[in-house]
Amino acid sequence: MILPFFIIIPLLAAFLIALISGERDNWAIAVAVIAMLALLCLALFGFVTIGAQTQVYQMGAWKIPYTICLVLDALSAFMLVIISGIGLTALMFSVFYIRHLSTSWKYYALFMLLITGMNGVVATGDLFNLFVFMEIALFAAYALVSYGSRAEEFEASFKYAIMGSISSTLVLVGIAIVYSATSNLTMATIAQLLPQNPTVMYFAGGIFLAAFGLKSAMMPFHAWLPDAHSSAPAPISSMLSGVLIKTLGVYVLVRLFYNVLGAPPLFLKMFMIFGSISILVASFLAMGQWDFKRLLAYSSISQIGFILLGLGIGTRWAILGAIFHILNHAIFKALLFYNAGTVEMVLGTRDLRQMGNLTKILPYTTATSMCGTLAVAGMPPFNGFFSKLIIIIAAVHAGHPIYASIAVAGSFLTLVYFMKVQRYGFHGKKVIEREGVKIGWGMRTAMIILAVLTLATSLLILPGIRTAVLDPVVAVIMNKTGYITQVLGGNL
């Protein structure tokens, strides 16, 4: 059973980093990279082998509902692959990038705690332990946002902590309400019992929607995100945008509202409304930004809107598009934050108006930024085109032409403000020439890997590959009864 190792490995790595690292970060880097490679291999193995099955690990000699259980199905395995894959590229990027801030081992210990919390949220089948792992991830995130020790970073971290505390309080209130009605914390058992009390179900669902909507930064619960994502070090921005808001926000919303609450139509309608607001309003806000990373932050809110819209439509194809876009957004948004971090490190600015033609001094960054731009704008043959197209077609087929039009408009607006990024940030009239510009091989490699993936993951739309990779994830989301049966009947 590999499930416990998704928590044991990063937690042990964080402990070893604190134990054996000296003044410099060499040992910390080695331990963190080895741990992330092991996690990625485990995640890929789990995803390839799980298929339509569900593995349940029950701690100790106790049985559900008297034990803490971990659950691995196609959905959780899919998310674990994303966490491990983006986490590994973030570590590669961090080796050179973080050293211009600090050579301390503390960054890598906090990074592994962040991975521990996210893996725990994805793997747990217990509502209260979901809260515990969520807090582990959040406390690490608060510290990492402020890692550069600048005033704006402390301010962003403080705002993030305040909003996170409000959200966590709401989560605890929701858990208390659910426990009072079901006397249980195992999500599969709650899924059996809670629908028998619709009043409690809708009340708790409303609280969870606000709480985890804040974690996912959907509008109007987004106030913390622009500061946190723009102020954090670039590899942490990529983790926050590409992974954290999906793990602590979108994934939990999917698991709770589909597998536990059974996808009540009222909440699906709210997903569509909030998703549409996020797409349009965040796009207009992004258009007015000249801070590169702040523009990317608002873009993240808009892209989360596409995912929520697909989940709200609720048909098989809409959910397929949403799941596909979770993967695609993790790839191209992490890439774009790496691009922004590289430019900021070399030029000392995030202001697009102070940039120019960077093709001579940063050729790899410039080239890969174009891949990220075309992917996020939904241009073929990049991955973002296919996931957005599926969501738009699904909206039309489900009888929601207005929502389909909003998605089309959002894609067009995304193209507009990212063309501004290319026009001013990378291909401006002012030719930037500097001697001795150096970026680490890890930074360059991380950007190239993700740029290649913006094209390679487009192949997931092919019928045979889609059936093997994405369809099992969609089946888990849509089959509430199957989740209950397989978890409660799972073997050790």
DSSP letters along 133-168, please?
Answer: HHHHHHHHHHHHHTTT--HHHHHHHHHHHHHHHHHH
- Pairwise CA distance, residues 351 & 263, whole Å: 43
- Pairwise CA distance, residues 297 & 310, whole Å: 21
Decide if 261 contacts 299 (C-beta within 8 A).
no
Residues 6+ apart with CB under 8 A from 197: 181
Instruction: Report pLDDT for 357.
Output: 85
CA distances to 105, 224, 301, 438 from 298, in Å: 31, 11, 5, 29
Instruction: Report pLDDT for 491.
Output: 40
Strand partners, 124: 70
Per-residue model confidence as pLDDT tens digits over 45-66: 999 998 888 888 887 767 777 7
Q: Which DSSP category does 418 fall into? A: H
How confident is the model over 255-267, as a mean pLDDT? 90
Dihedral sign computed on CA atoms, order 118, 119, 120, 124? positive
Instruction: Report pLDDT for 436.
Output: 67
Cis amide leading into 220 (omega within 30): yes
- Enter the pTM of the model: 0.93
Q: Which DSSP category does 57 fall into? A: E
Decide if 411 contacts 388 (C-beta within 8 A).
yes
Boundaries of every domain in the chain: 263-461
Range of lowest pLDDT (187-196, 269-278, 425-434)? 425-434
Instruction: Report pLDDT for 20.
Output: 85
- Pairwise CA distance, residues 29 & 33, whole Å: 6
Q: Give the ranges where 348-400 is alpha helix by DSSP (H).
A: 363-376, 383-397
Q: Which amino acid is at 408?
A: V
